[in-house]
Amino acid sequence: MKSNNRLDILGIEKDKQIIIRYGKRRKAFLTVGEIKQTFVLENFADGSITDKNPLTWWTDTIDPYSDTSIFSQKPSSGFYIWKDQTTWHIRWVGGAQGDIFSGVITAKGGNINAAKYFNLGMLDKKQDDEQKIVFSHKNNSGRAGIDFMADSDAIEFDLRQNDRYLGRSVWIGKSRALAYSIPFVLDNNKITRSYSLSMLKSTRADGKYMMKVVKKYTGKDYPYFGAWGLRGAASNWTNIDDFYFWLYLPADVGNIKVELEDQYGNKGILNGYNPFLKEKGAGWYKWTSNYFNSPEVLENRIDSLPIKARKWWKAWDDNENDFVDTTDDFDLSNIKNIQFVVGGGEKKDVYFYIDELILENNNYRMGNSYPTKISQLDLFQTRWYKVMFQPEATIDAENIFIQIVGKDSNPKNC
C-alpha cells in the first residue's frame, strides 16, 4: 500500500496506535490523530484576476460585438465568434490532421433566422429550425462557418472540438475573450453583466489579497461566475475529501451554490447553502462542500459524502428544465472549471469578498474501508519507494514517504 500523489497521502484510521521498531529491541508508539493535507487552488497572491496564475476568473457576460472580422489571416485552430450590428458570425479552422467541429446554437426565448453555411460539405451535418442550429463538420485546416440572425435576448453556444470542450480555443468579440464554460450564453441585444470582480488587500489575518464580488440583478435568475484553468494535480479530485473557501460577508447574500465542470463540459453540483449566521453578523465565513445540512442534500441533489466517496452526481439541464443524473459522464479526474451562483432566484444586489480556495485531503483514511491489521511501517527517502531509511538512521529529511503493510477491511483491496 503506497502513494506518491501529493493530493493523496495514504493514512490509517484516526486514534489507532502505530508501533515503530528500530535499533536493538527499541520501539516507539504513535497514536494517529486527524492529519489534513491542503492544496491551495487560489489565494490571489499576485493580486490579479484575469491572468492564468493559477486560475482565470470569468463572469457571466462577454461582449460579442465587433464591426470587423476577428478571424485573422493565420488563425489558430478553434472557434471564432462575433456579432456586427445585425448578424452573428461563427467560424472555425482545424489542424493539419483534421478536427471535428460540432455544436448546437440556440436562441434563448426567441427565434433564429437567415442561417447561411460556409464550406460545409454534403457529408457534414447541418440542420436549423426557428430556435436552434445543429452542425458537425470535419475540417482539415480550412475555414468554415455559419452566419445567422436572431431576435432573442440571448444566444446559447454548445461547441465541441473533437467532442471535447476547449475553452482556450473559443475566441469571442473584438477583445477576443475566451469562453470558460460550456454551454456559454452571450447577450444578443444589450449587455447584461450580473457580476463584476476586483482585487484589494485582504483583511483576513492569513491573507494577502482578496477578490471583491459585486452582483447586480439584471433579469438573470441564476447567473454564474467562476474560475477556469485547473490543470495537473489540481484537476484530479478523485482523492479529495473537501473543497472550501473563505469569504467575508458584510450581510446575508443568500445561497452560494458551487458546481464543477470537467474537460468535456459535464457538470456536477458540489453543494449549495447560505453560510451567513444572523447571530454572528458580518464577518469571515468558511464555505465547505462537506456541509450536509444544505438544501442540495435535503432536495436529494448531492450525495452527502466527502467528494472522493460520492457515488452519484447531478446537475441542472436547460433542455430538460430539471436536475438530471450526470454520474456516468461526469469525470472527477479532470476538472477544468469551478462555477458559482450567488443568491440564485433572488432579485437583489449584493457584494462580498473571497480569499483562498482550498482542496483538502484527510489522510488518516482512504476510501470507505479501514485497515484491520498493520504489521509493518516502512519509511522511504523518495516518492518512488525504492530507497528505504535504515533502522538506525537519523532522519532529518523534509519529506518522508511511508508504506504501510497490513490487511485491509475490504477484501477487494487484499
Instruction: Say what the pLDDT of residue 53 is.
Output: 62
Residues lower than pLDDT 70 in the chain: 1-18, 20, 22-23, 29-35, 50-53, 363-372, 398, 408-414
Coil, strand, or helix at residue 256?
Answer: strand
* Residue with grid cell 438544501, as numbered in its chain: 295
Q: CA-CA distance, 209 to 12, in Å (whole number)?
A: 36
Q: CA-CA distance, 299 to 313, in Å (whole number)?
A: 13
Q: Dihedral of the CA atoms 213, 217, 223, 226 (nearest 10)?
A: -10
Q: Identity (one letter) of the amino acid at 220?
A: K
pTM: 0.70
Q: CA-CA distance, 412 to 190, in Å (whole number)?
A: 58
Question: CB–CB of 187/61 below 8 Å?
Answer: yes
Residues 39-61+192-362, CATH architecture: Sandwich (2.60)
Residues 78-172, CATH architecture: Sandwich (2.60)
Q: Dihedral of the CA atoms 263, 254, 44, 313 (nearest 10)?
A: -20
For the chain, the domains span 17-27+369-413, 39-61+192-362, 78-172
Which phi and psi angles does 66 have, rounded to 5°?
-160, 130
Question: CB–CB of 249/283 below 8 Å?
Answer: yes
pLDDT tens for each residue of 33-42: 556 778 889 8
pLDDT tens for each residue of 204-259: 877 788 999 999 999 888 999 998 888 888 899 998 999 999 999 999 999 999 99
Question: CB–CB of 64/42 below 8 Å?
Answer: no
Q: Dihedral of the CA atoms 211, 216, 221, 226 (nearest 10)?
A: -20
